[in-house]
């Protein structure tokens, strides 16, 4: 094991400083790979060095395919699989509990309970045998339930493996980074709906990140995983059939998060009355319960019995469409709202360029959004074509997931151990598809800087595993084309072992910042 003290001596300065800017074509290629992609890998700098900006745009024009996705279940299928397992688990537990209860209370030939002669320790309504066997029955029932495998975790890990390997194999990774960005923008949480978390990203996010924002918005908001996550399944209008019969109420979560987080942004002019009206519009957006339909359970469904009848006014406009079309009409107008263009442009520029992005860049991107009817590919092209996107120093701290993937890419590894990857991301505070709130993971340095110390342990452990096959000097010369700072080269040269040299390299600002 490498002496951690030796790493810490270099840790602070190498990590916290911002890499120096350079005007060389190699340095611009490195910046393109870090700022917009998944980080350099063997041969990537040479492949894009001639024109890094054109290479980024060319990647956006290629189909965004996900290898091995055909083997993964749809979100509805995954949901049914887990629901079926839970039902089987409950049934096994009840069967075993009943069996244990019967065994604990034997009946004599004359029909009297065998324990009737001694009832000193009986609880009210319980025979002595039943009282003594209750704990045993409970333990046996739990054991019987636990014998039914939980399919949710394997589905989650397989989704994580496919996603991670797509990032490792990408030529640049700009399109993959856009998938990650939009998945976090329209986030759900595997803590609440694990079975659908990976499929949601594949079905609702990935197909639309290079299309129009309205299509992405419609797909995300109507996906069963989002409806489940934001508690819209049982939301019902007060005057709906279900609302009258069940005396249950409206849930505003879904409508509020769409306006505040997904489209308009905070302080953009909407009111509480708009939220309530929009929530009424969205009543009836639900999913088919697996127990009701074993073939289509888990799919999106509009239930008119839950829907508030009549027109609703949102942002000063009356929507009198019937059924599901009322909600789709509001979403279309939210997608086209000028505040949405500014909100989306600001978040994209903050994520890729700087915590306080240049206002001129944000305005260029918002203008493209408005003029192209929300064409997200064109907005991304505007971003990478703008001089401001390249003049900002590489001072933005990478989020844990970006850093981990970049570290592995530098060694040329393309296969992922999903258990190790997801465990590492959880340790670093960015558990995959498990954001702490509907606003997703933050994009500011203050939220991540305190966890950089844990990256040292991750870097050291990874370096220990790959030291036999990864040469730090080779990574500097071939992967980074010798563009790392002289100070990093010196630290690597002075390292006491190859493992320590790799850990120092992975912890340097040249790896951590973009």
pLDDT band (50, 70, 90) for residue 146: confident
- Tokens encoding 430: 């960015």
Domain end point (choices 350, 368, 391): 391
pLDDT band (50, 70, 90) for residue 75: very high
Q: Are 463 and 502 in contact (CB under 8 A)?
A: yes
- Give the pLDDT score at 21: 58
Note whether 371 and 478 are same-domain residues: no
Q: With pLDDT > 90 as the criterion, what percentage of the chain qualifies?
A: 79
pLDDT band (50, 70, 90) for residue 123: low
Q: Does 348 reside within a domain?
A: yes
Higher per-residue confidence, 277 vs 21: 277
Q: Does 161 reside within a domain?
A: no
Find the helix packing angle between 359-371 and 376-385, rounded to 10°: 150
Note whether 354 and 434 are same-domain residues: no
Q: Does 474 reside within a domain?
A: yes
Domain end point (choices 374, 391, 408): 391
Q: What is the mean pLDDT of residues 431-456?
A: 96
- Give the pLDDT score at 144: 80
- Give the pLDDT score at 117: 45
Note whether 425 and 349 are same-domain residues: no
Note whether 378 and 487 are same-domain residues: no
Q: Is the pLDDT of residue 107 over 60?
A: no
**Rounded to the nearest 5°, which phi and psi values hold at 316?**
80, 5
- Give the pLDDT score at 13: 47
Note whether 448 and 487 are same-domain residues: yes
- Tokens encoding 127: 């025979």
Note whether 378 and 402 are same-domain residues: no
- Give the pLDDT score at 246: 86
Q: How many residues does the chain have?
A: 514
Q: What is the mean pLDDT of residues 449-475?
A: 95
pLDDT digits (tens, 9 = 90+) for 467-503: 999 999 999 999 998 889 999 999 999 999 999 999 9
Q: Does 365 reside within a domain?
A: yes
pTM of the predicted protein model? 0.91
Q: Does 248 reside within a domain?
A: no
Note whether 402 and 503 are same-domain residues: yes
Note whether 428 and 487 are same-domain residues: yes
Q: Is the pLDDT of residue 2 over 90?
A: no
Q: What is the mean pLDDT of residues 294-305?
A: 96
Q: Using only the alpha carbons of the chain, give its radius of gyration.
A: 28
Q: Are 198 and 156 in contact (CB under 8 A)?
A: yes
Note whether 383 and 399 are same-domain residues: no
Q: Does 297 reside within a domain?
A: no
What gap in Å lies between CA 272 and CA 105, rounded to an integer?
A: 60
Note whether 506 and 405 are same-domain residues: yes
- Give the pLDDT score at 148: 84
Q: What's the domain count of the chain?
A: 2
User: How far apart, in Å, are the Cα atoms of 274 and each of 270, 394, 409, 456?
Assistant: 6, 41, 47, 48
Q: Does 53 reside within a domain?
A: yes
Q: What is the mean pLDDT of residues 115-142?
A: 61
Q: Are 56 and 50 in contact (CB under 8 A)?
A: no
Q: Does 230 reside within a domain?
A: no
**b/e burial code for range 453-464 (CB count within 10 A of at least 16 → b):** eebbebbbebbb
**Rounded to the nearest 5°, which phi and psi values hold at 242?**
-70, -40
- Tokens encoding 239: 């005057």
Q: Which domain holds residue 458?
A: 4-58+395-512
Q: Is the pLDDT of residue 116 over 90?
A: no
Note whether 17 and 54 are same-domain residues: yes
Note whether 433 and 380 are same-domain residues: no
pLDDT digits (tens, 9 = 90+) for 49-61: 999 999 999 999 9
């Amino acid at each position: 094991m490498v002496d951690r003290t030796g790493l810490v001596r270099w840790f602070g300065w190498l990590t916290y400083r911002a890499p120096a800017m350079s005007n060389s074509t190699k340095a611009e290629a490195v910046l393109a790979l870090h700022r917009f992609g998944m980080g350099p890998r063997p041969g990537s700098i040479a492949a894009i060095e001639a024109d890094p900006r054109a290479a980024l745009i060319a990647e956006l024009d290629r189909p965004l395919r996900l290898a091995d996705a055909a083997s993964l279940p749809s979100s509805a299928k995954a949901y049914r699989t887990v629901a079926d397992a839970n039902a089987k688990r409950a049934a096994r537990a009840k069967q075993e509990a009943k069996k244990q209860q019967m065994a604990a209370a034997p009946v004599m030939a004359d029909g009297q309970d065998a324990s009737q002669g001694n009832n000193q320790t009986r609880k009210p309504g319980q025979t002595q045998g039943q009282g003594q066997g209750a704990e045993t029955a409970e333990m046996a029932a739990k054991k019987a339930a636990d014998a039914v495998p939980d399919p949710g975790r394997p589905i989650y890990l397989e989704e994580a493996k496919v996603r991670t390997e797509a990032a490792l194999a990408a030529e640049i990774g700009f399109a993959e980074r856009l998938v990650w960005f939009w998945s976090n923008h329209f986030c759900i949480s595997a803590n609440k709906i694990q079975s659908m978390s990976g499929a949601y990203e594949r079905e609702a996010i990935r197909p639309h990140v290079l299309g129009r924002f309205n299509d992405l918005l419609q797909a995300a908001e109507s996906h069963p995983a989002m409806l489940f996550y934001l508690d819209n399944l049982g939301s019902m209008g007060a005057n709906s059939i279900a609302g009258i019969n069940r005396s249950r109420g409206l849930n505003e979560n879904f409508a509020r998060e769409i306006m505040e987080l997904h489209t308009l942004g905070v302080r953009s002019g909407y009111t509480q009355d708009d939220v309530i009206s929009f929530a009424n519009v969205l009543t009836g957006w639900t999913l088919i319960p697996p127990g009701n339909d074993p073939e289509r359970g888990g799919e999106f469904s509009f239930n008119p019995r839950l829907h508030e009848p009549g027109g609703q006014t949102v942002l000063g406009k009356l929507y009198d469409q019937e059924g599901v079309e009322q909600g789709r009409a509001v979403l279309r107008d939210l997608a086209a709202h000028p505040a949405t263009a500014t909100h989306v442009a600001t978040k994209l520029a903050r994520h890729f360029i700087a915590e306080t992005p240049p206002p001129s860049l944000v305005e260029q991107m918002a203008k493209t959004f408005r003029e192209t009817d929300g064409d997200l590919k064109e907005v991304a092209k505007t971003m990478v074509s703008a001089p401001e996107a390249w003049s900002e120093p590489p001072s933005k701290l990478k989020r844990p997931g970006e850093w981990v993937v970049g570290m592995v890419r530098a060694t040329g590894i393309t296969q992922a151990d999903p258990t190790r990857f997801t465990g590492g991301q959880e340790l670093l505070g960015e558990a995959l598809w498990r954001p702490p709130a509907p606003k997703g993971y933050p994009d500011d340095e203050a939220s991540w800087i305190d966890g950089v110390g844990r990256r040292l342990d991750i870097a050291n452990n990874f370096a220990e595993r790959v030291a036999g096959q990864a040469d730090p000097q080779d990574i500097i010369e071939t992967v980074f084309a010798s563009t790392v700072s002289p100070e990093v080269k010196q630290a690597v040269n002075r390292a006491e072992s190859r493992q320590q040299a790799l850990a120092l390299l992975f912890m340097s600002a040249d790896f951590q910042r973009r």
